[in-house]
Structure 1
Amino acid sequence: MVEEMEDTVAILMATYNGAKYIEEQIQSIINQTYKNWQLFIRDDGSSDETLKIIKNFTNIDHRIHKITDNLGNLGPCLNFNELIKTHLEYKYIMFADQDDVWLENKIMISVNKIKNLENFNYNIPVLVYSNYYISNSSLKYKTIVYKNLNQKHLSERLLVHSWVMGCTSIINSSLAHIAVDIPKEAENHDNWLAILAAAIGEIGYVKETTMIHRIHEDNVTKNNNTNTLVNRLDRVRKMFLFGLLEKRKLMQKLNIRLTETEFEQPLVIKKYQKLLDLKGIHSILYARNNHFYAFTKKRTFLFYIQLFFSKKRGLENAKR
């Protein structure tokens, strides 16, 4: 009985006006071959039928819970942060988007992989992420995302640009305790968790696809990656104006977190901090020699250009 409780997986779902697809997603969780899970849903102030659908599911399955608090609308990152903070007692935590669909073995595959990496050492912060499909709103024309994913120099590359999706991930309690209270400079919980796991713990990848990530006009992924020329130019402008400064601030907060949790500063963090303090051709050469490059060649090129024109700034020059 004790072992059964230890292996319970807490699934955290942040919702907002997700009535169109959430029923299909929750049903895919119910259909999992791994049955020892608890689904905790925190709604961020939906005005559609989302809350009604959630209530219907809580009535038919005791493992599904709606979180009620007085915190109001938090936005996706703080919503997930609140969910992590209030479920730290669970050995494993997974994250669910309201509009995706999980394949039936997703939890089983994820738990088996993370247990293998822990190897009974539960003090090691561990994150496991998996391959997945992307699809349109009707779930037609599925495409595998990672066809030939390079697993070399993960720590360095994830500090430059994280490609790890939270909705494909499982983390253990050790990582959750360090990650709670996500800095705003981390952009999202996906990025923060991946950086922590890669820098001070273990990060594992499952090549098998475990879910379908639905791309549609209303979801966060679509909104953050809109391919209009105006949005592309705005993202590049923000990257060059604030990108490295935000990364420096994030490294400061990361080091404070490591000190608080008695983790030593890893070598990769020291190298990355040195990189951020360099400029011109020296920064690019240092980045290349120490394997700091992004997920794609385009992202790597933009990062190098960003480094080249960067000047060392103190935190007093933070964006106003």
Structure 2
Amino acid sequence: MTASIVMTTYNGEEHVEEQLQSLLNQSLKANEVLIYDDGSTDNTINIIRKFIASNDLSDSWKLIQNKENKGWKRNFMEGIWKAKGDYIFPCDQDDIWYDNKLEKMIKIMESHQQINLLVSDFEYMYGEQKVRNKPLDEKNPKLEKVELTKHWLRVDFPGCVFCIRKNMAQKSKNYYDAEYAHDDFFWRIGLFEQSLYILHDELIGHRVYKESTFSKEVLQLKTRPKKIEWLDLSINCCKSLMRMLNNDNITGKEKNLIVGTEKALKLRKKFYQTRNPIYGIMLIKYLNNYQFKKQYLGDWFFIYFR
């Protein structure tokens, strides 16, 4: 059994050393830690180099400086593909991993071979304040399988709490599009493979900012052109997953869900592009494909009032 941590960095000097220390403190040590810096202009590189040298980690910890800025999505995926471990852990530059994260997640993966993607609960960190991701429900099983539904585009956990089995990471190469976020894509593969599980144990503190790259991208979705881009990306995801199902000879419910979702997305795209109310009325047939019914009303507001 071997474990790889894949960390990406960009101008993270404020918190990166604290995160590195939390990786070093793991009760079960990673066999390799790959750190991909995407062109930092602050002191991030020097902090990482000094940490590796002062802790004599150069045999297993590697800092790779990208020759060009790849963006966080591509940077993560290429790093994950290069990882050699049986279990691969994506890592943000500014979280704090609790000491037993690797040990607990690998123990579950070793004893449950049906799991290709395991995610853990986490705590949000707002400055020094920690808040649960969601209220702890004692009735929930410790290990929960995530079931496939019509709302499969929704991703409930960030990639920093993922443990990816190597065969899933390698499989993803065949279906990945350069614009997919790694956490979105692996989550959806796990859903359709029936291999996605949640470990109800808070194993990291996940730092949240108002001005993170992710939050900026979410805000951009508040414009009609960006919404159309998101619809195109989601349609492409349907096509990628359908290719995967065809290659795996999977039929039935899984394919029907993708077909229904793709039809709904294409109709929404026509509605956004043409502003023709007929397409909006036709979308009533696909109300169940919306995670919340108010999102359907939101489409009308977006198209005619923004």
TM range (shorter): 0.7 to 0.9
1:220-239 alpha-carbon deviations (Å, 9 max, x no partner): 3443456xxxx5733x7733
Does residue 78 of structure 2 align to residue 73 of structure 1?
no
Counterpart for residue 233 of structure 2:
246
Alignment of 1:279-294 (within 5 A): 279-284=282-287, 287=288, 294=291
Counterpart for residue 3 of structure 1:
none
Does residue 87 of structure 2 align to residue 92 of structure 1?
yes
Counterpart for residue 271 of structure 2:
none
Query: Are residues 249 and 305 of structure 1, via their aligned partners in 2, closer, same or farther at CA, if it must alter by over 3 Å?
Result: farther
Q: Quick one: which of 8, 32, 36 aligns to 1:38?
A: 32
Counterpart for residue 258 of structure 2:
272
- The DSSP-based 3-state class of the residue aligned with 1:248 is helix
Query: Are residues 153 and 280 of structure 1, via their aligned partners in 2, closer, same or farther at CA, if it must alter by over 3 Å?
Result: farther
Q: Quick one: which of 176, 183, 191 aligns to 1:190?
A: 183
Counterpart for residue 4 of structure 1:
none
Quick one: distance in 2 between partners of 1:198 and 1:308? Answer: 30
Q: Quick one: which of 215, 219, 222 aligns to 1:233?
A: 222
TM-score (norm 2): 0.79
Q: Is the 8 A contact 1:215 1:221 kept in 2?
A: no
Q: Quick one: which of 133, 136, 144 aligns to 2:132?
A: 144
| Structure 1, gaps ≥5 residues long | 1-6, 119-123, 295-299, 310-320
- The DSSP-based 3-state class of the residue aligned with 2:40 is coil
Deviation at 1:207, TM superposition (A): 1.0
Counterpart for residue 109 of structure 2:
114
Q: Quick one: which of 162, 167, 170 aligns to 1:169?
A: 162
Aligned residues: 274
Deviation at 1:271, TM superposition (A): 2.0
Query: Are residues 217 and 33 of structure 1, via their aligned partners in 2, closer, same or farther at CA, if it must alter by over 3 Å?
Result: same
Counterpart for residue 57 of structure 1:
51
1:223-282 alpha-carbon deviations (Å, 9 max, x no partner): 3456xxxx5733x7733x3444432221112223455xx312453243231243254322
Quick one: distance in 2 between partners of 1:307 and 1:171? Answer: 35
Code of the residue aligned with 1:144 in structure 2: it is R
Does residue 296 of structure 2 align to residue 301 of structure 1?
no
Q: Quick one: which of 142, 146, 159 aligns to 2:152?
A: 159
Q: Is the 8 A contact 2:150 2:257 kept in 1?
A: no
- The DSSP-based 3-state class of the residue aligned with 1:159 is coil
- The DSSP-based 3-state class of the residue aligned with 2:118 is strand
Code of the residue aligned with 1:78 in structure 2: it is R
Does residue 113 of structure 2 align to residue 135 of structure 1?
no
Quick one: distance in 2 between partners of 1:90 and 1:37? Answer: 7
- The DSSP-based 3-state class of the residue aligned with 2:196 is strand
Deviation at 1:156, TM superposition (A): 2.1
| Identical pairs, percent | 23
Q: Is the 8 A contact 2:123 2:206 kept in 1?
A: yes
| Structure 2, gaps ≥5 residues long | 265-281, 302-306
TM-score (norm 1): 0.76
1:180-211 alpha-carbon deviations (Å, 9 max, x no partner): 3731453x110000000110141111111001
Deviation at 1:153, TM superposition (A): 6.2
Q: Is the 8 A contact 2:146 2:198 kept in 1?
A: no
- The DSSP-based 3-state class of the residue aligned with 1:162 is coil
Deviation at 1:21, TM superposition (A): 0.4
Per mean C-alpha deviation after superposition, the further-off stretch among 94-103 and 267-276 is: 267-276
